[in-house]
Amino acid sequence: MANFPSNIPFHLFASCIPVKGANRSAIYDLQRNQFEYIPNPLYDILTRFKNITFIDLLDFFPFKNDQRVLLEYFEFLKNNEFIFFSKLNSAQFPKYSISHERPYNISCLILDIENFHETKFEAIKRQILKAKVEFIIFRFISPTTSINIKNVLTFFNNIPTRIFQLFIENKNFTENLDFENLINLNERVSVIVKYNCEKELVQDLEKATLIHTKRDIVNNKMNINNIADFNVNMNLFIESQLYNSFYNKRVYIDSEGFIYRHEGDIMDFGNIINVELTNILENVEFKKYWHITKDEISVCKDCEYRYMCVDSSLPMSKTNNLWKLDRECNYNPYNSEWKSAYPTEDN
């Protein structure tokens, strides 16, 4: 006996979107920022059948064992609030519009800082105001003090950037920093990351989050090690279908002021002191990786995580209309197994 109205057509909630992988699929719940795995046969059912009741669906699966499994599938969908039931046609329930129009020309600006350099920072501030930057990461790459951090946060306090993050290497602390007071200098600081730490730890401060990580943020690229590295949300889901979720509108400025497309880039595009950032953003070569989506990348296109992934692997070569990355991913979508030694929650 079904615990749902089996004689009324079922519909997926607009915020619950199935994504197919090679070995298994997932339902992204974009409203609750979470996901659940589903088998590929269930993905096919959810994307193939529209405006049909569960009872009518059973006619397509005449074997009793298949019907039993189908009942389990639908109880799972109902219990997780992925589906609802209505006699209205599915056309009455519009899908989300896949549009990523945002009022920022730069989504993420990474700025390496050794010391407070007012001339360079004046140039950066002027160009940030002109280019419109959504998110800035301040990376303090040499021993730093609260005075240095305070000067930086205070200097950039009056720009219309939405979010700030601070990255500081653990060994570069020259004193016990009062993070609460530092954050009060600029309430747009959402995260402080201490990297190259001895252990992983997350602390909730009053107005931000303090993260201790073992990773070397500066010298290593952003790797995906387990499902904790994924992020399910509406903006990322939409951006990932239209653009590269890591490189799109990304700008990196090193401690000397040279401008790059990303950290580790071998090509610089001039110095922030004497070139216009808005002009660089129009350079085709600078935007080379922005529009390469996961669906255009070999292996990534077969991964159920592809619209929640911000791995920084670089597209290097193209064969048969598919890009190949510069390194192999830690996750294999063809057998749903992880290759790294990091613990995972789904295996």
Give the mean model confidence (pLDDT) for residues 126-135: 93
Q: What is the pLDDT of residues 287-334, one digit of tens each?
A: 999 999 999 999 999 999 999 999 999 999 999 999 999 999 999 999
- Termini Cα distance of the chain: 32
Higher-confidence residue of 136 and 215: namely 136
Cβ neighbours for 273, distance < 8 A, ≥ 6 positions apart: 119, 120, 123, 257
- The pLDDT of 16-24, averaged and rounded, is 97
Per-residue pLDDT, 63: 94
- 176 vs 335, higher pLDDT: 335
Q: Is residue 100 pLDDT above 90, yes or no?
A: no
Q: Give the predicted TM-score (pTM) of the model.
A: 0.89
Maximum distance among all alpha carbons in the chain?
A: 75
H or E stretch at 325: strand 322-325
3-state SS string for 213-264: CCCCCCCCCCCCCCHHHCCCCHHHHHHHHHCCCCCCCEEEECCCCEEECCCC
CA distance linking residue 26 with residue 305, whole number of Å:
8
Q: In the 8-state DSSP scheme, what is residue 95?
A: P
The string of pLDDT tens digits covering residues 155-165 is 998 888 999 99
